[in-house]
Amino acid sequence: MNLFSPSDETQSLLKNTNFNMKWNNKVVKWTFGIVLFVLLLLGAIYLVHIYTNTVIQLESSATIKVPNIKKNPLHIASIATTNDDFLKKCAPIVKCDPDAKYRSANGSCNNLGTPTWGAASTPFFRMIDANYSDGYYALRLQTNGSALPSPRIINVKVFMNHEIYHADENNVLLFPFAQSSAHDISGLPNDIISEEDGTAIDCCSAETKKKKYPQCLEIIESTDDPVYSTFNITCTGTFRAMTSKNYYDCPLYPTTFINTNTHFIDASEVYGSNENHSQHLRTMDGGRLNFSIGDHGQMFCPFLPNQNKEPSIENPNSHIKYDTGDPNNGNQNLGITSMQTLFLRFHNYVALKLSSLNPFWSDEILYQESRRIVIATIQRIIYEDFLPIIIGDDFQELYGLNQPNIYDPSLNPSTSQEFSTAAYRVLHAIIPAHFNFMNNNYKIENWVKIIDWMLVSDPIPIDNNFDKLLKGFIETPGRIVQPSYNFYMSNFMFLTINNSLLAGPVSLDDVNLHTPQFGSRDLLSTDILRGRDVGLQPYNQVRHFCGYPLAKDFDDLVDLIHIKAIAQLKELYNSVNDIDLMVGLLLEKHSDGAIVGPTTQCLIADGFYRYKAGDRFFYDVQGQPGSFTDGQLKVIKKISLGHVVCATSNVDHVQKDMFKMVDHNLFPTLKRKCDREFYLDFKDWDESNGRPEL
Ligand code: HEM
Ligand SMILES: [Ca+2]
């Protein structure tokens, strides 16, 4: 047998194998062919995909030059080139303890990589580079080289006397709370405004005009102003804002402005924005803040003795001013002073509760833990109850502002110039003209004009006025946001004449009886002017930066601004590229569900996103030395402004949504009794277990 000749069986096997091999060859060829075909097809699809994507990217970068590197398409990123100049040239060197449990007083060391980010006395952040006619400090001109229209004339022609008097669904309380948040994140004082010998500069005096002080912003002179001419006022003026050059002797190019408050939402208006001031505001005992006692033993911010820089005509030293964390604004009007009082009392209330749980805690621990709770409370109220009213619930959700624990150390948490000097000031429109003093039976006992008590806080500690004022805020419909400020704010913001609350409100006729003591001020034209002072880009550029089309002429603005207003703008400005940011923001139609227009919404959302995601000590951030425990966080999440009001005043019924009007006659059950439902329990802070009794 040929060992090498196949057997029959093998023969048939070989046959099969041959057959199989042929068959397999066919299968392999076919499979290979199919795979190749599929691969080629996939490759072609991929190439088409890359090509179209490139085209889309090229197209979008050609039309919208704004780099949008964030994942959320609504987010904006600064395109300014000068934000790091202060850091490079003049920022103080700060050493940080990365394990510190509490925020510093001045906000430094929040960001461990860049410790001065968000600290007090650092510059405002710019979203877009400054716009000055000389590139440095001289006010912007129109694009054709002529001067911009006078802000007073803009106010008179476009905004004044267009007031709408609808009752708002929000109450008056929205305004002082908004203002107190504004003074938390922003403080732009005037530049040095006295002569070398210390005497105050009056920008309207003949002498000053001759000297041409650079600190005098724009002096508006007119004999035919529809309001001022009636009162023989022919000149109003204001000062330029504080620059890094004057504050630090650190000139930056273009001019850069200093925020003297901490940029973070950290209740700096209550606690101060630097260590010395914070210490000065404390009793150094039981963790409490200093206070004074008013009528009926009630607690108020400490009264300042004779600190009246703007004394009234008849009684120069009789007024009460409070010492607060915000030395520039704490006494500006009865609304803001009420908020100062409310949160001072809340701090001392929390400190007392914590000290009864933990009698062994030092003054320092009691102070810091109470401060931490007060800040967390304010942050929670802002993000959950306040901001949705301003920018709208849905927008807030889409923007990612409701997401918890989003700390991002790469974000600069500083207040933007565009936000503070324009967008947030749109809420100046909700300032009411009057305040009601209401008792617990919902009866208005008295009322005052807002300008009756500016810069002094006399009525607050008298009798039960604080409670009645607070009740009045909660029970009075607010002013709806509209393209105008109330008449007083538009003309006589700081007209102070001596009057007494109990003698009743003063009438405008009194203005004739007294020469205005320190000049009339128009808040709306001040806001427009301040925008020019700090070099804000005009409205068209900013709305484009926010993702809206760049208007080629006035009529293109119709997507966001009413046609009637566009006609007025045409009469005032030379080109659509000249319109002041403040003016455009005030005129924008409101976005769905919001009380502001789209560009304002965009700038406000950006600010509040960075105050949250850029704050390592934000109340819900986890895994940091300053993080709350889960139990503590649950308590914080329940504290509403209603709890704060109940804990700190004699107001006895409050609603869940503290900024909403509730008709107590129609819906009495929506008002809940303070002592039943607004009780606060801090047992999650109790560390007494295992500690010896003192
Ligand atoms: C009676 C109420 C109010 C008065 C009299 C008032 C008045 C003023 C004044 C005089 C300024 C400085 C203007 C300048 O020279 O540039 C200012 C700034 C400002 N106001 Fe108001 N305001 C009030 C309420 C509010 C409210 C409700 C908000 C809401 C957010 C607000 C937000 C701001 C902001 C963000 C600034 C810039 C702050 C800074 O950087 O210093 N204000 N306000
Ligand atoms: Ca602050």
pLDDT band at 310 (very low <50, low <70, confident <90, very high): very low
Query: SS3 for 239?
Result: strand
Average pLDDT of span 217-241: 82
The whole-model pTM stands at 0.87
Partners of residue 322 on adjacent β-strands: 303
Q: Picking from 229-243, 397-411, 521-535, which range would have the lowest pLDDT averaged per residue?
A: 229-243
The rounded radius of gyration (Å) of the Cα atoms in the chain is 31
Q: What is the mean pLDDT of residues 214-241?
A: 83
590 labelled as ligand-binding? no
* Amino acid in position 508: L
CB 132 within 8 A of CB 243: no
Q: Is the pLDDT of residue 59 over 50?
A: no
- Judged against a pLDDT cut of 90, whether residue 342 lies above it is answered with yes
pLDDT at 548 over 70: yes
In the predicted model, is pLDDT for residue 154 greater than 80?
Answer: yes
> Which of 171, 177, 179, 493 for mutating ligand 1's site (highest number of atoms within 8 Å of CB)?
179
- Helix, strand, or coil here: 660? strand
The H or E element that residue 36 is part of is helix 8-63
Query: Which one of 265-269, 490-494, 514-518 scores highest in mean pLDDT?
Result: 265-269
- 7's CB contacts (< 8 A; 6+ apart) are none
Q: If DSSP states are collapsed to H, E and C, what string results for 588-615?
A: ECCCCCCCCCHHHHHHHHHHHHHHHHCC
Residue 17: CB atoms within 10 Å: 12
Q: Which of 546, 535, 401 is nearest to 123 (CA)?
A: 535
Task: State the Cα–Cα distance between residues 584 and 605, nearest whole angstrom.
Answer: 18
d(CA 477, CA 172): 6
Apex CA 304: angle with CA 298 and CA 310, to 5°? 120
pLDDT at 312: 43
High-pLDDT (> 70) share of the chain, %: 84
If you average pLDDT over residues 10-27, what whole number do you get? 40
Regarding the beta carbon of 532 and ligand 1, being less than 6 Å apart is answered no
Alpha helices in 523-649, H assignment, sequence order: 523-533, 539-545, 563-572, 581-587, 598-613, 630-638, 641-648
Confidence (pLDDT) at 554: 98
Look at residue 406 in the predicted model and tell me its pLDDT.
95
429 lines ligand 1 (CB under 6 A): no
Asked if the model's pLDDT at residue 66 lies above 60, the reply is: no
| Four-residue CA torsion sign, 205, 211, 213, 219 | positive
Tell whether the model's pLDDT for residue 504 goes beyond 60.
no
Query: How confident is the model over 268-282, as a mean pLDDT?
Result: 97
Is 424 near ligand 1, meaning CB less than 6 Å away?
yes
Q: How far apart are CA 553 and CA 569, in angstroms?
A: 11
Q: Which ligand is nearest to the CA of 379?
A: 2
The residue nearest atom 2 of ligand 1, judged by CA position, is 431
Euclidean distance between CA atoms 414 and 111, whole angstroms? 11
List of long-range contacts for 49-54, beta carbons under 8 Å, 24+ apart: none
For residue 324, the model assigns a pLDDT of 94
Closest CA to 594 of 386, 383, 390: 390
Nearest-angstrom CA–CA distance, 497 and 26: 104
Q: What is the pLDDT of residue 192?
A: 75
C-beta 427 within 6 A of ligand 1? yes
How far apart CA 339 and CA 517 sit, in angstroms, is 27
Most confident of 223-227, 457-461, 464-468: 464-468
Neighbours of 390 (CB within 10 A): 27
Residue range 501-518: average pLDDT? 37
DSSP secondary structure string for all residues of 327-371: TTTTTSSHHHHHHHHHHHHHHHHHHHHHHHH-TTS-HHHHHHHHH
What angle, 0 to 180 degrees and rounded to 10, lies between the N-to-C axes of helices 363-381 and 641-648? 130
Tokens of 318: 């009789």
| Centroid of ligand 1 to alpha carbon of 602 (angstroms) | 20
Ligand 1 contact, 189 CB (< 6 A): no
> How big is the CA angle at 102 (ends 100 and 106), to the nearest 5 degrees?
105
Most confident of 16-25, 220-229, 281-290: 281-290
Could you give the 3-state DSSP secondary structure of residue 7? coil
Percent of the chain's residues with pLDDT above 90: 67
Q: Which atom of ligand 1 is nearest to the CA of 335?
A: 1
- Give kind and range of the element (H or E) at residue 370: helix 363-381
- Which residue in this structure is represented by tokens 């709208």? 392
Contact 470, 645 (CB under 8 A): yes
- Paired tokens of 308: 């009246």
Checking if the pLDDT of 653 tops 50, the result is yes
Q: Ligand 2 center to residue 224 CA distance, Å? A: 42
Output the CA torsion sign for 624, 628, 634, 637.
Answer: negative
Residue 309 has pLDDT above 70, yes or no: no
Q: Read off the pLDDT of residues 582-602 as tens digits, 9 standing for 90 and up.
A: 999 999 999 999 999 999 999
CA distance 125 to 412: 8
Q: Is the pLDDT of residue 328 over 80?
A: yes
Reduced to 3 states, what is the DSSP secondary structure of residue 309? coil
Distances, alpha carbon 5 to alpha carbons 10, 408, 449, in Å: 9, 80, 120
For the chain, give the mean pLDDT.
Answer: 85
Atom of ligand 1 nearest to the CA of 183: 38
Residue 381's Cβ-side half-sphere holds a number of Cα atoms within 13 Å equal to: 27
Distance of alpha carbon 455 from its chain centroid, rounded? 22
Say which ligand is closest to the CA of 600. Answer: 1
In angstroms, rounded to a whole number, what is the distance separating the alpha carbons of residues 216 and 210?
Answer: 12
- For residue 60, pLDDT over 80 is answered with no
Confidence band, pLDDT 50/70/90 cuts, at residue 308: very low
Q: What is the pLDDT of residue 691?
A: 63
Beta strands in 61-159 (DSSP E): 122-123
Cβ contacts of 278 within 8 Å, gap of 6 or more: 105, 271, 272, 325
Distance CA 298, CA 32 (A): 90
| Alpha carbon distance 205, 228 (integer Å) | 17
C-alpha pair distances (Å), 272 with each of 262, 268, 326, 340: 9, 5, 6, 12
Q: What is the pLDDT of residue 494?
A: 73
- Residue bearing the CA closest to ligand 1, atom 8: 523
The amino acid at 316: P
Q: Is the pLDDT of residue 49 over 80?
A: no
Q: Report how far residue 88's alpha carbon sits from residue 665's, in angstroms, rounded to the nearest whole number.
A: 61
Choice between 231 and 568, residue whose per-residue pLDDT is larger: 568
Give the pLDDT confidence score for residue 501 in this predicted structure: 27
Centre of ligand 1 from the C-alpha of residue 422, in Å = 10
- For the CA of 494, the closest atom of ligand 1 is 5
For residue 624, how far is its CA from the centre of ligand 2 (angstroms)? Answer: 20
Q: Biggest alpha carbon distance in the chain?
A: 141
| C-beta separation of 185 from 261 below 8 A | yes
Atom of ligand 1 nearest to the CA of 415: 40
Query: In this structure, which amino acid lies at residue 548?
Result: Y
Residue 486 has which token pair?
A: 């109330």
Structural tokens at position 349: 């209330």
Least confident stretch, 19-33, 131-145, 595-609, 636-650: 19-33
Task: Report which bound ligand comes closest to the CA of 417.
Answer: 1
Helix, strand, coil percentages for the chain (3-state, nearest 5)? 45, 10, 50
Distance between CA atoms of residues 420 and 424, nearest Å:
6
Q: Which range, 21-25, 162-166, 577-581, 684-688, is most confident?
A: 577-581
pLDDT-derived band at 538, boundaries 50, 70, 90: very high
Task: For residues 447 and 465, give the distance between their C-alpha atoms in angstroms, rounded to a whole number.
Answer: 11
DSSP 198-214: SPBP-TTSHHHHHHT-T
Note the pLDDT of residue 562: 97
How crowded is the C-beta side of 567, counted as CA atoms within 13 Å? 3
Question: For residues 291 and 298, what is the distance between their CA atoms, to the nearest angstrom?
Answer: 10
- Facing residues of 194 across strands? 200
Residue 480 scores a pLDDT above 70: yes
Q: How far apart are CA 267 and CA 123, in angstroms?
A: 19
Tell which atom from ligand 1 comes closest to the C-alpha of 238. 15
For residues 272 and 330, is the Cβ–Cβ distance under 8 A?
Answer: no
Which band of pLDDT confidence, cut at 50, 70 and 90, is reported for residue 161? confident
Looking at residues 374-387, what average pLDDT do you find? 98
Q: Which tokens go with 292?
A: 């004074």
* CB-ligand 1 contact for 332 (6 Å cutoff): yes
Mean pLDDT across 166-173? 92
Residue 511 pLDDT level (bands cut at 50, 70, 90)? very low
Which pLDDT value is given to residue 566? 98
In a 13 Å sphere around the CA of 146, the CA atoms on its Cβ side amount to 9
